[in-house]
Structure 1
Amino acid sequence: MLLSIREPNFPTEVLGSSIPVLVHFWAPWCGLCRLIVPQLQQFQTNWQDQVKLVGVNADQSLKLASTYRLQTLPTLILFANGQELHRLEHFHGREDLRRTLDEFMHSYQNRSASVSLSTHEYLTLEA
């Protein structure tokens, strides 16, 4: 089951998270939003403690919907270190969704590894 969050706890749960957060913006009237929940839960299971999955009801969180300029639902946004890294607004089936989400995570891991390497190299040069 997705952790459901609203505007007041968005800064803490998403922007302040120590791990990447995949935010599923949805609405009760959106059939596709409900259909992808099992795939999202499988994604979270596959990536275990490396990503947090949360749901935001866009109809109840209009300020967030406006802030992140939602054009369509469902919209999936991957946040890391308080920043939007990737956005998915359209996909073509379950396999496309799974592949795209996995690519998001691999991209995040590669970005994190290069930042760590750059920091380490900098520290080594300074020493």
Structure 2
Amino acid sequence: MTDPYREKTRQLWGRPSRTKRELVDLLRARKEALNVSHETVDAIVGWSDRLSSKVLAPAPRRGLTGETLQAVLDALGLGIAAVILVEDPEQTAKMQHRWTQRGVTGPRPVVRCLENHCDAEMGSTNTEVA
């Protein structure tokens, strides 16, 4: 038997979200497809009443942070498969004049992370990735 929730949200899978607003729209659509209330999302996440309605509103009154995004994803049974960063030529053109190049100040730390632990070592000023 086909899961009706999965069928309703199947159209969302693989659909790119290029802005924060589009991401919120996708989250809201998933919540609606599951037919759960904001109160249910609040209870699952452990938020105060109506916080999810502010975060997931068409014109959000509360911002979506990294922590709130992960909480909502978990509550709605979602995960992120990949994040692909691409240069936005229009935004680059707007910002490029503000980019002040930093001078060489000596060796920069090289940070290596394994799972939940990061170590910093002093390395060369070479910025090449190994």
TM-score by length of 2: 0.20
**Structure number with bigger Rg:** 2
Greater helix share, 1 or 2? 1
TM-score by length of 1: 0.21
